[in-house]
Amino acid sequence: MQNAQPNASHFINGAYVEDTSGAPIECIYPATGKVIATLHEATPAIIDQALSAAHAGQKIWAAMTGTERGRILRRAADIIRDRNRELSILETLDTGKPLQETLVADATSGADALEYFGGLAATLTGEHIQLGQDWVYTIREPLGVCVGIGAWNYPTQIACWKGAPALACGNSMVFKPSETTPLCALKVAEILHEAGLPAGVYNVIQGRGAVGASLVTDPRAAKVSLTGSVPTGRKVYAAAAERMKHVTMELGGKSPLIVFEDADIDNAVSGAILGNFYSSGQVCSNGTRVFVQKDIKAAFLKRLKERLQGAVMGDPLDEATNFGPMVSVDQMDIVLGYINKGTDEGATLVAGGKMADRDGFFIEPTVFADVTDDMTIAREEIFGPVMAVFDFDTEEEVMARANDTEFGLAAGVFTNDLTRAHRVVAGFEAGTCYINTYNLAPVEAPFGGSKASGVGRENSKEAINHYTEVKTVYVAMTPVEAQF
Ligand SMILES: NC(=O)c1ccc[n+]([C@@H]2O[C@H](COP(=O)([O-])OP(=O)(O)OC[C@H]3O[C@@H](n4cnc5c(N)ncnc54)[C@H](O)[C@@H]3O)[C@@H](O)[C@H]2O)c1
Ligand SMILES: C[N+](C)(C)CC=O
């Protein structure tokens, strides 16, 4: 059993900080159920220390030029890439995701964000607006101290996707990882400081929801960026709104993936597998409602069942494994509960449907067919390896059904009809859409949800708007003409 005990629970003001007076947080390796590290929740004193450090650090950081800031972020990206294997192993221990995945999807995605926003840092400018002889200029200012709160499924990526744009714009950050996967963000903080980040600019503290809530309500925090579930998002958004704080909300989904009869079936099956079983289904944007046009439903299901034989469940640290466990026993129980509901409510179990006969929190890749729109598995986010397959007749019908959800994170379509592809995408009520692929999230493209799935966007130049505020300066060239 690998021990993953970090140097300490928190990283504050440029150094690891331990304080064992907070409640313990046990880090459990999902593939075995064994404790691999024990950390401690931040006490009020630790929370205060982190916010004070961030408040002081931000002033120093914002006074540096964009070029200087960008250089440090890009250096951190290089260190992450150099240490990719070590960081990927840690991500695997923290989450249970197969090393085959984490080697290409986690630390590398974090490095992409640091490199991309490091590159943008020197380019951030205001505007000049000529008004006759007078003129206006705008200054793009940082917000101040930003709070980042993470979900458990992509701990390294989330720590970087929030930290990189925030820091590029001259903000500081206090990041609270999920209590379920607390390890990886500490490494991000350590590497940022190794790259030359001034003390206090990126801090990590541990804790459950109450620690997150204390950060959100603290007057020193100007913004909160949350990745989490819709219920948590509602609470955090309300607390931030009470104090008029900026927010980014990256929340859950129940995304549709539509396969038309003219699609390449093999490619569509690949999209459905990628969009349902990567990270064992623990991906926010998964296309968990797969609508297949009636004439090709049998062929689609046949091919899907054949392809499921390729799932290799096993030790996530073995690079041959491509399907890992649920992150925790709680998540496993939630997912098994949904599978039981699917069966009880009359869906047809096509594949999987039970725990694997091995240690850890493994559930077989599961497919339901004959799912109807009113079933629980059709309406609620499951966040596990459970695909629901529906059939449909017409485009008009499937569009209405695809959009009939409170969520709006992502949506996808597989078709070889170019006009239809763009028409369908135009009709989707979702923030991130895919044509003939699924679930790609490069840093250059905005990512985020509409409706209950979120507010704001991460990645791309869009993120800059969510980590800066514009100050308008009117410059008069002639005397003031007062009314009396
Ligand atoms: N849209 C995205 O980019 C994205 C990405 C990954 C995960 N997710 C979503 O995250 C969810 C799974 O993650 P989870 O179970 O960790 O979510 P969660 O909502 O239970 O917790 C998310 C984070 O919020 C914290 N938290 C809980 N209550 C809080 C409160 N009152 N105030 C402040 N912080 C609080 C938790 O400690 C945790 O760090 C799924 O719904 C998934 O779709 C969304
Ligand atoms: C943002 N993404 C899709 C990479 C991971 C979400 O859970």
Ligand 1 pocket: which of 41, 160, 178, 466 to mutate (most atoms within 8 A of CB) = 178
pLDDT for res 3: 84
ipTM: 0.97
Contacts of 275 (CB under 8 A, 6+ apart): 255, 257, 283, 285, 286, 287, 288, 412, 438, 439
Q: Which atom of ligand 1 is nearest to the CA of 177?
A: 39
Distance 204 CA to ligand 1 centre (A): 16
Q: How far is 284 from 267, CA to CA, in rounded Å? A: 22
Closest approach atom of ligand 2 to CA 410: 3
Tell me the pLDDT band of 1, cut-offs 50, 70 and 90: low
Shared fold status for 10-251 and 256-435: no
Report pLDDT digits (tens) over 3-42. 899 999 999 999 999 999 999 999 999 999 999 999 999 9
- 2 confidence band (pLDDT: 50, 70, 90): confident
Ligand 1 atom closest to 150 (CA) = 39
CA–CA gap between residue 341 and residue 331 (Å, rounded): 15
Residue nearest to ligand 2 atom 5, measured at CA:
283
Q: Give per-residue pLDDT as tens, 251-273.
A: 999 999 999 999 999 999 999 99
Q: Whose CA is nearest to atom 41 of ligand 1?
A: 229
Q: pLDDT of 322-356, one tens digit each?
A: 999 999 999 999 999 999 999 999 999 999 999 99
- For residue 381, give the ligand 1 atom closest to its CA: 41
Site to probe by mutation for ligand 1, drawn from 181, 232, 235, 327 as the one with most ligand atoms within 8 Å of Cβ, is 232
If you measure from the C-alpha of residue 250 to the centroid of ligand 1, how many angstroms do you get, rounded to a whole number?
8
pLDDT in the model for residue 434: 98
d(CA 380, ligand 2 centre) in Å: 18
Instruction: Point out the ligand 2 atom lying closest to the alpha carbon of residue 151.
Output: 7
Residue 303 to residue 290: CA distance in whole angstroms = 14
Which atom of ligand 1 sits closest to the CA of residue 216?
Answer: 33
- State the distance from the centre of ligand 2 to the C-alpha of 141, rounded, in angstroms: 28
Closest residue by CA, ligand 1 atom 27? 209
Distance of alpha carbon 154 from alpha carbon 136, whole angstroms: 43
**From the CA of 235, how far away is ligand 1's center (Å)?**
11
Does the active-site annotation cover 91?
A: no
Choice from 152, 157, 162 to test ligand 2 binding pocket (greatest atom count within 8 A of CB):
157
**Which pLDDT score, from 0 to 100, does residue 379 have?**
98
Å from CA of 285 to ligand 2 middle:
6
Residue 53 in this model has a pLDDT that exceeds 90: yes
Ligand 1 binding site (Cβ under 6 Å of any ligand atom): 149-154, 176, 178-179, 208-209, 212-213, 216, 227-229, 232, 235-236, 250-253, 284, 381, 383, 409, 449, 454
Ligand nearest to the CA of 157: 2
- How far does the centroid of ligand 2 lie from the alpha carbon of residue 283, in Å? 5
- Residue 68: pLDDT over 70: yes
Average pLDDT value for the chain: 98
Q: Report domain extents, the chain.
A: 10-251, 256-435
Percent of the chain with pLDDT over 90: 99
Among the residues of 256-348, which ranges form H helices? Answer: 265-277, 297-308, 329-344
- Residue 473 pairs in a beta bridge with 137
Q: Name the residue at shortest CA distance from atom 1 of ligand 1.
A: 250
Average pLDDT over every residue of 192-197: 98
Q: Is the dihedral of CA 62, 216, 189, 79 positive or negative?
A: negative
Cβ neighbourhood burial of 446 (10 Å; 0-12, 13-18, 19+):
middle
* pLDDT tens column, 115-165: 999 999 999 999 999 999 999 999 999 999 999 999 999 999 999 999 999
Candidate list 115, 250, 364, 395, residue with the active-site label: 250
- CA 186 to CA 484: how far, in whole Å? 62
Q: Which two tokens stand for residue 43?
A: 């006490």
Residue 285 CA to residue 223 CA, distance in Å, equals 24
Q: How far is the CA of 6 from the centre of ligand 1 (A)?
A: 23
Ligand nearest to the backbone CA of 454? 1
* Ligand 2-lining residues (CB < 6 angstroms): 153-154, 283-285, 441, 447
What is the full DSSP assignment across 126-192?
--EEEETTEEEEEEEEE-SEEEEE--SSSHHHHHHHHHHHHHHTT-EEEEE--TTS-SHHHHHHHHH
User: CB-side exposure of 455: number of CA atoms within 13 Å?
Assistant: 18
* CATH class for the region spanning 256-435: alpha beta
* pLDDT tens figures, 293-310: 999 999 999 999 999 999
CATH number of 10-251: 3.40.605.10
